[in-house]
Amino acid sequence: MTLTDKPIPTPTRWHILGAGAMGCLWACAMHSRSVPEAHTGAPVTLLLRNRAALSSYPGHITCSDLPQSLNVPARTVCHDSGTTTDVINNLLVATKAQDTMAAIASVSSQLAPDSRLVLLQNGLKVQQELSRLYGTARVFCLSTSQGAWLREPFNVVHAGDGDTWLGQLAPASAETPAPLQRLLDMLPAQQLNIRIDNNIGDRLWRKLAINCAINALTVIHDCRNGELLHLPDARQTLTALCNEISQLLPEIAGAPAMPDLSAQVQHVLTVTADNVSSTLQDIRRGRATEIDHLNGYLCNLAAQQHLPCPVNQSVLQQMRVIESQALRA
């Protein structure tokens, strides 16, 4: 799929927190599906963290899927003109997991009582916290394998066409709840291959477990995904991580059993062999990582159940040392 599929009428206004690769990709997908004559004002507004970020915004987003740039309005999160247009009814959150709670807090006064929050974060910690805070009826979770990266700020390359799954952290159901179907109808479902998963919690857990096995090791060994299968030390730790995570999951409430985790991880490493994990990209750019929402989150859950997880703890401690050094560099 590309972002130039046939547009649909009556677009819904969205605000997007986070202007990284995914935020820009989704902004383009949402904007390009709109019909200008069917509404007044653009359907998408980027929310940037401060005036410096706003001043660096060129006024448009460039996407590799589109023949020309899209003029997407932007403003800072601290927008207090008091007009009704400042109300955020639909918020897509595309920030890193560790930045999400603060980002949403920065716009919380602009949220309506029934505003939808749609989350694109890795892990489960943020999704669970926000579902408790705002209620599962208002919080929606996405899990995506779409690939995207930035050539430069606000210039996104749609690098891989994957699947995107939408759901809520509510008890699994055989039937799709009406609010979930209504939201799907509002999203760029064709452009980004969005489908509903009535048990999104299990999907997020599986992705979390795979990320816990892979991401930190790519940092520790400073390597692409596929190299973890060929470096002897990395392979040994990878096997130990998979075994430990597989043993932990059945003991954690709400987590699915994954006895075949090792096979799933090897498959992911094979098909993404040339990829540089997002965690390693963060380290190379001197940025904070999502490690506390991956292995750190798993270790905390294990501690609550008094379950030992020495391999994950060792990986977590090594990651924190490396991250601290990267942030000081």
Give catalytic residues, as residue numbers: 207
Determine the Cα–Cα distance for residues 22 and 313; give it in Å rounded to an integer: 30
* Sheet hosting strand 155-160, strand order edge to edge: 62-63, 155-160, 147-152
Main-chain phi, psi angles of 46, to 5 degrees: -80, 135
- Asked if residue 140 lies in contact with residue 196, where contact means CB atoms within 8 angstroms, the answer is no
Determine the Cα–Cα distance for residues 297 and 303; give it in Å rounded to an integer: 10
Nearest 5°: the CA angle 169, 173, 176 is: 90
Nearest to 290 by CA among 56, 59, 20, 54: 20
Determine the Cα–Cα distance for residues 88 and 103; give it in Å rounded to an integer: 14
Determine the Cα–Cα distance for residues 302 and 250; give it in Å rounded to an integer: 11
Determine the Cα–Cα distance for residues 107 and 77; give it in Å rounded to an integer: 6
